[in-house]
């Protein structure tokens, strides 16, 4: 099943001007645990989807918030000439389509 | 003192203070009211240009509400990151608004301003002394970086706010400050646990964003010896252990460790429990003091001047070979720019955004090859001055408009320009140029305090006689 069918929120956002962060949140513990158990969401997946060095990816499983979090360097510093997303808020769509096996 | 109570009036001064909620929060007899008035999230323009991102009238309305409430409760109001970026020009802009409010509302206030803008000479000295260090990922930092910067601010922690509070002000108006520090300063000064104080600051600094529900309101926090309670005040607002835990993720790179000037807030072992149906009890945060006080720097420099053209392409033949067509077009106008203006591609920058295909994600777009029937084109040029940027845009206007595709025989018009003239002069464009910390010899050398009476003489003399 696609991740966006399981998550209550998939979002991207600036974490300061130099980093971009992704939050994948769940409304129910069972859904979060299911995705966590699938082991599909991890740093290598983020590195692949966002074409960045694996060593530059921070990845967190936040059990108390029923959420996954990943942070990567921004390709453009926020707001510099050519940066297509000032607030970094529209970079999450590729994560929505990630397939979580049943 | 068994507990300290305080109110986050809004997530950002200018975003809206709800008068009823603030009045209701005041009934809980808080010890201070605070809110931040800035962020880097608005982009480098505020710091570079000196122009705040928020509308003046919105800031004035919110400040007036906070100052009125502070006066009514007889408690200080703390505002940080004044005027979006917190440099001197932004602080002065905000101070002028405070003067207007005082004049109009017949208020007299003791205002303590804490300035955070950094002198380039001081930064050069710190750099030479090896006292400036990068935070990964960081751009290059050298003497030229500092000299190119239009403005640099340091992000103050609790210490500077505490110095201001020690003088019993009605308003602390701070330049660039850690949002959480605005809330953590007084509790820490009064001996409440540092970890708890910073954690609570982190939770309430975005106002009601830590709630499960949305709506106008304020946040009331109560810190005691070993726990704190977060209570939203506003119609149907509710915090849950989940909503508060989840908020910690928002706009932060690491959900557990937070760098502050005086150390690292560690949330790895925090516990969130429901206190009532709408409030949450938090505990377990720890604070690891830094080996040396260190201050994050934010700098902006001028990148150049930009001119933009916006248009759309609907012809399937052009869309079908868009990369080829844009490549030809670029080749064509680069040639004109070289011949007519004597400029090479290294002398200016072009950014082409093709909305409908990959305008938002660029080369990361996984669905770049999906079929589309319409493409929005934004052509941007950056040059050393505005007239050159516009001349270059004008030289691109014609090839964008008429560059042929082999599928059609005869003259074609290839783009639907949105405006007349198509080009829009954007003015100066800035870039953030620092992701560094400085280790000052003392906190006082970076953050300067200035105390003043603001307000009508009538109010002052009235206050003097009572």
What is the distance between the alpha carbons of residues B282 and B224, in angstroms, rounded to a whole number?
10
Interval B210-233 mean pLDDT: 96
The percent of residues above 70 in pLDDT, for chain B, comes to 98
B304 interfacial to chain A (CB closer than 8 Å) = yes
Is the CB of A81 less than 8 angstroms away from the CB of B366? no
Nearest-by-Cβ selection for A80 from B248, B270, B303: B303
Please check the confidence at residue B459 and state whether its pLDDT lies above 50: no
Q: What is the mean pLDDT of chain B?
A: 95
Strand partners, A23: A11, A69
Q: How many CB atoms lie within 10 A of CB B360?
A: 16
Number of continuous H segments (helices) and E segments (strands) in chain B: 14, 21
Percent above pLDDT 90 for chain B: 95
B432 vs A15, A78, A90: nearest CB: A78
Best residue of B178, B285, B364, B427 to probe chain A, by most A CBs closer than 10 Å: B364
User: Which pLDDT score is estimated for A102?
Assistant: 86
Asked if pLDDT for residue B461 goes beyond 50, the answer is no
Helix (H, G, I), strand (E, B) or coil at B344: coil
Residues A48 and A19: their CA atoms lie apart, in Å, by 17
Q: Does B257 touch chain A (CB under 8 A)?
A: no
pLDDT mean over B17-27: 97
Instruction: Note the ipTM here.
Output: 0.95
Q: Average pLDDT in the B418-429 region?
A: 98
Pairwise CB contact (< 8 Å): B366 & A94? yes
Contact predicate B79/B172, CB 8 Å: yes
pTM over 0.90: yes
Identify all chain A residues contacting B250, using CB atoms and an 8 Å cutoff. 13, 23
For B352-389, the three-class secondary structure string (H helix, E strand, C coil) is EEEECCCCCCHHHCCCCCCCCCCEEEEEEEEECCHHHH
Hunting for tokens 């005082």 — which residue is that?
B102
Contact B246 A80 (CB under 8 A): no
- The answer, yes or no, to whether residue B422 has pLDDT greater than 60, is yes
Tens digits of residue pLDDT in B168-181: 999 999 999 999 99
The backbone torsions φ and ψ at residue B287, rounded to the nearest 5 degrees and listed phi first, read: -130, 120
Instruction: Read off the pLDDT of residues B290-308 as tens digits, 9 standing for 90 and up.
Output: 999 999 999 999 999 999 9
Task: Please give the pLDDT value at position A64.
Answer: 87
Q: Which residue of A has its CA nearest to B354?
A: A84
Q: DSSP string of B406-438?
A: TTS-S-----EESSSSSEEEEEEEEEE---EEE
pLDDT at B460 over 70: no
Output B298 or B462, whichever has higher pLDDT.
Answer: B298
Mean pLDDT (whole number) for A34-39: 97
Minimal Cβ distance to B431: which of A15, A16, A77: A77
Is B69 a residue whose pLDDT tops 90?
yes
pLDDT at B458 over 70: no
- Judged against a pLDDT cut of 90, whether residue B145 lies above it is answered with yes
Mutation choice for A interface testing from B46, B134, B249, B427 by most A CBs within 10 A? B249
Tell whether the model's pLDDT for residue A90 goes beyond 70. Answer: yes
pLDDT at B466 exceeding the cut of 50:
no
Residues B311-325 have a mean pLDDT of 97
Give the gap in angstroms from C-alpha A10 to the nearest C-alpha of chain B. Answer: 12
CA distances from B103 to B82, B83, B121, B431, B460 (A): 20, 20, 38, 37, 11
pLDDT recorded at residue B465 = 43
Q: How far, in Å, CA of B381 to CA of B363, rounded?
A: 19
């Amino acid at each position: 099943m696609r991740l966006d069918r399981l998550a209550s929120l998939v979002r991207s956002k600036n974490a300061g001007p130099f980093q971009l962060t992704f939050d994948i949140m769940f409304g129910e513990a069972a859904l979060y645990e299911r995705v966590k158990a699938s082991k599909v969401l991890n740093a290598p997946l983020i590195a692949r989807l966002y074409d960045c060095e694996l060593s530059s990816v921070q990845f967190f499983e936040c059990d108390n918030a029923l959420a996954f979090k990943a942070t990567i360097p921004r390709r453009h510093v926020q707001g510099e000439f050519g940066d297509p997303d000032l607030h970094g808020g529209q970079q999450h769509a590729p994560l929505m389509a990630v397939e979580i096996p049943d | 003192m068994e507990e300290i109570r305080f109110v986050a009036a809004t997530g950002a001064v200018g975003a809206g203070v709800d008068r009823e909620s603030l009045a209701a929060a005041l009934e809980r007899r808080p010890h201070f009211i605070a809110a931040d008035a800035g962020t880097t999230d608005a982009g480098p323009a505020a710091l570079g240009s000196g122009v705040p991102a928020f509308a003046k009238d919105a800031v004035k309305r919110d400040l007036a509400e906070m100052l009125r409430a502070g006066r009514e409760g007889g408690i200080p109001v703390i505002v940080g990151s004044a005027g979006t970026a917190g440099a001197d020009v932004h602080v002065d802009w905000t101070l002028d608004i405070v003067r207007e409010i005082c004049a109009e509302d017949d208020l007299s206030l003791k205002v303590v301003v804490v300035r955070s803008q950094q002198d380039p000479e001081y930064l050069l000295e710190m750099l030479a002394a090896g006292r400036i260090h990068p935070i990964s990922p960081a751009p290059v930092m050298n003497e030229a970086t500092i000299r190119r910067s239009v403005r640099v601010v340091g992000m103050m922690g609790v210490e500077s706010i505490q110095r201001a509070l020690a003088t019993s002000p009605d308003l602390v108006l701070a330049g660039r400050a850690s949002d959480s520090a605005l809330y953590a300063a007084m509790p820490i000064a009064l001996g409440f646990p540092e970890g708890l104080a910073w954690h609570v600051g982190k939770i309430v600094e975005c106002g009601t964003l830590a709630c499960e529900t949305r709506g106008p309101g304020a946040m009331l926090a109560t810190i005691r010896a070993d726990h704190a309670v977060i209570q939203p005040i506003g119609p149907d607002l509710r915090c849950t252990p989940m909503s508060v835990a989840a908020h910690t993720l928002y706009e932060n790179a690491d959900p557990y460790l937070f760098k502050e000037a005086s150390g690292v807030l560690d949330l790895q072992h925090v516990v969130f429990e429901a206190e009532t149906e709408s409030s949450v009890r938090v505990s377990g945060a720890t604070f690891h003091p830094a080996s040396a006080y260190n201050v994050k720097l934010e700098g902006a420099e001028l990148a150049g001047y930009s001119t933009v053209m916006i248009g759309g392409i609907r012809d399937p033949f052009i869309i079908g070979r868009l990369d080829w067509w844009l490549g030809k077009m670029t080749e064509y106008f680069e040639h004109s720019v070289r011949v007519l203006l004597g400029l090479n591609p290294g002398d200016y920058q072009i950014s082409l955004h093709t909305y409908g295909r990959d305008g938002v994600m660029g080369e990361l777009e996984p669905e770049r090859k999906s079929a589309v029937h319409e493409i929005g084109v934004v052509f941007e040029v950056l040059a050393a001055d505005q007239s050159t940027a516009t001349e270059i845009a004008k030289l691109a206007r014609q090839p964008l408009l008429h560059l042929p595709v082999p599928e059609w025989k005869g003259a074609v018009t290839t783009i639907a320009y949105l405006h007349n003239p198509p080009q829009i002069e954007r003015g100066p464009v800035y870039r953030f140029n620092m992701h560094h910390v400085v280790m000052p010899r003392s906190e006082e050398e970076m953050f300067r305090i200035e105390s003043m009476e603001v307000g009508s003489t009538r109010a002052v003399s009235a206050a003097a006689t009572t």
